[in-house]
Amino acid sequence: MGRLFGTDGVRGVANEYPMTPEMALDIGRATAHLFKRKGHIPRIIVGKDTRVSGYMLEDALVSGICSMGVNALLVGVLPTPGIAFATSSMRADAGIAISASHNPFQDNGIKIFSGEGFKLPDEKELQIEELIFSNNMHRLHPSPRELGKAYRVEDARGRYIVFLKNTFPGEYTLEGTKVVLDCAHGATYRVAPETFFELGADVTSLFDQPNGENINANCGSQHPKTLAKEVVKGKADVGFAFDGDGDRVIAVDEKGSVLTGDQMIALCAKNMKKQGKLANNVVVSTVMSNIGLSMALRELGIQQRITAVGDRYVLEEMRSTGVLLGGEDSGHVIFLEHHTTGDGIITALQVLAAMKKEQKPLSELAQVMKVFPQKLINVEVKIKPELSTIPEIGAAVRDVEEQLGDKGRVLVRYSGTQPMCRVMVEGPTKEITDAHCKGIADVVKKAIG
């Protein structure tokens, strides 16, 4: 990858490089230029989550887009998958989401979608970077007569809600189903409650009062404790916690137990296989998926393909092999039959569809997979040398792998978006897993921390 784009677009602290208005202006200009062609005025969708820095970056992006003779269509606050949907349904040339997903409010990011609603491939991102760093864009500016315009799209949310509702099977209704939603003070704060309400559910919304600074703060998919309490207190059937930009979700069953993304993938895979909808009988997951998922899929007679971490790699594998279900343990699940990208609301609706089809509570459906104890330690690092070149880390990993045998696994990798090395261990008991993970993390800290 180049110098700007990480595994999930450009990301950083707002008002610090690269998340500055100057850089947003350049990204807008470069993206606009990339999609220009003779005899066609491109249109680029621009949307955002609820971060206070969204206004600043949105204005800069739009300014850059219009300066290149391209039109900007503003959809306002909308989940990232909603921006992808708007891009393809309005036949725009590209879509830009301003969001740092599940990160704290001071971070922000820029993610670009192609006209089909898929994330831009690496080579296109590289072209944008080259344009920006060539310092040549001022020479590409059109004349004053050819400048672009900005339009506000008033009904983007309503269109997206109709699209979401159509992913829920027509033969079922959510009437009489009690659902609690944690909207993370983020981009789903209006869309999610309205979608479930319109499908007939009895909806309780939590964390749906964004103020620009409370997004993901002790709420959302990273912090489902409050949601779990509310589900039990309100005797609800199910709870769902979205992240700040709504592309991932974590579910809570009626007993207040939190389900992992892997468990949702397993129960949806089982349901899709039963209905004959699991294309090629394959599910795609990443190296971070729990070993329990592999065992569950094996028992269901379903094949598993494993990719590097990052939904873009999951999606690439799914598209190249004709697979309809894939995702990450974080709750980022892609149902390619319904959408081009991970969508927390669609995932929640598919979990509810499985509950309706099986006529079983979520706690029962979740038993399709046993979750192995997992420990993840993030070690802050100053440098990121190739891990295979550090013998002491390799020795520590091999030692733990020998002790675990087929009762667990080890994964050590760098974060694609932060200066961190992630050490993950799965094992037969919590104590064994924690001890092994701490041991490896200590070695990593000593070597490169």
Cα separation, 193 vs 189, in Å, equals 7
Catalytic residue among 101, 114, 205, 330: 101
Has 101 been annotated as catalytic? Answer: yes
* Residues sharing a CB contact under 8 Å with residue 170, sequence separation 6 or more, in sequence order: none
Cα separation, 445 vs 291, in Å, equals 26
Whether the CB-CB separation of 371 and 428 falls below 8 Å is answered with no
Closest Cα partner for 350 from 204, 199, 228?
A: 199
121 backbone dihedrals φ, ψ, rounded to 5°: -65, 160
Closest Cα partner for 353 from 295, 275, 289?
A: 275
Cα separation, 355 vs 363, in Å, equals 10
What residues are annotated to the active site? 101
